[in-house]
Amino acid sequence: MVDVWQTAMDHAVGAARRAGQVCCSGALIRCVDQVVREALQDDRKVMTKSSSVDLVTQTDQKVEQLIIQSVKEKFPTHRFIGEESVAAGESCVLTDAPTWIIDPIDGTTNFVHAFPFVAVSIGFSVNKQVEFGVVFSCLEDKMFTARRGKGAFCDGEPLQVSDQEDIKQSIIATEFGSSRDPEAVDRIFSSLRNVLCIPVHGVRGAGTAAINMCLVASGCVEAYYEIGIHVWDIAAGSLIVSEAGGVLMDVDGKDGGPLDLMSRRIVAANSRTIAERIVREIDAFGPPRDDEPLRR
């Protein structure tokens, strides 16, 4: 059967690779520090968004425009939700229309500090369902892809989540978020303390939601959870995790409830057992939704 979205997915892979090359000056594997500094040569102006630690650079904006322009030429009727377009005032509502959900640089703080994990994330949804996801980890030069119903891959090799069912034998990924309000930080620390003291083998964070999810899909960590992420951080990664055999959930009640891309909360895990255990340990606060009109 003809896959109607395959051309769009091929386009996304090309666009993500080109975007990644802009981020990393085309020289991907060399001295990472030097590579990122080269990219920063014409990009020294670091600006802030929702808080003093929520960073954006001209490269974020340039890369998002590059992707959107190239898609518009090929798919003029498609819609977009892009991190930097939303920051500039565009709406952030997921409709049934074919929609490209773009995070031009996931891990801008890493990018600015030359911490070597930076990704371009492109998800594509139709009828509010993610059809394909592409995450290009540009400094590692790894292309993660997933097509709904057809599996998840890294550079063409199939991905499979870890088969570890015991959370006490697991590594869990999470992040500290971009709020430095002491009360908000206390809530994050209290969840982290509960998870760490299960006890688990370790807690890690790559500094990018998209790469954290690819680590779940690759079986390197058993789960990733975070409250406060946005739809562009997780759209592509969520399909990569589920197509690698993982589970996705929100953090409501005992069983988490189904993932809602706009709720700004996610648990992505190798198994339902581990995902539900994390849901039980974390503080289920609800930040303003991505599709809440007055959130900014």
Ligand X SMILES: Nc1ncnc2c1ncn2[C@@H]1O[C@H](CO)[C@@H](O)[C@H]1OP(=O)(O)O
**Residues at the site binding ligand X, with contacts judged by CB under 6 A:** 53-54, 83, 103, 106-109, 175, 177-178, 207-209, 226, 229, 233
Catalytic residue among 59, 99, 108, 174: 108
Between CA 171 and CA 167 the distance in angstroms is 8
Which one of 9-17, 122-130, 140-148, 228-236 is the stretch in contact with Mg ion (CB under 5 A)?
Answer: 228-236
Peptide bond into 199 cis (omega under 30): yes
Pairing of strands 265-269, 247-252: antiparallel
Catalytic residue among 64, 103, 222, 290: 103
User: Token digits for 246?
Assistant: 């993982």
- CB of 286: closest distance to Mg ion in angstroms? 19
Which residues have C-beta within 8 Å of that of residue 44, sequence separation ≥ 6?
A: none
Which one of 105, 122, 229, 240 is the catalytic residue?
105
Cβ closest to Mg ion, residue 233 vs residue 243: 233
Site membership for Mg ion, residue 226 (CB under 5 A): no
Residue nearest to ligand X (CB): 178
Q: Is residue 266 marked as binding?
A: no
- Residue 118 backbone class (left: φ over 0; alpha: ψ -120 to 50; beta: rest): beta
CB-nearer residue toward Mg ion: 106 or 131: 106
In whole angstroms, what is the distance from residue 175 CA to residue 166 CA? 22
Q: Is 278 annotated as a binding residue?
A: no
Residue 233 designated active-site? yes
250 backbone dihedrals φ, ψ, rounded to 5°: -85, -170
Residue 208 C-beta: closest distance to ligand X, Å: 4
Q: Report yes or no: 82 and 60 within 8 Å, Cβ to Cβ.
A: no
What token pair was written down for 292?
């809440």
Which is closer to ligand X, CB of 103 or CB of 243?
103
Residue 106 interacting with Mg ion (CB under 5 A): yes
Query: Which stretches of the chain bind Mg ion, using CB under 5 A?
Result: 83, 103, 105-106, 233
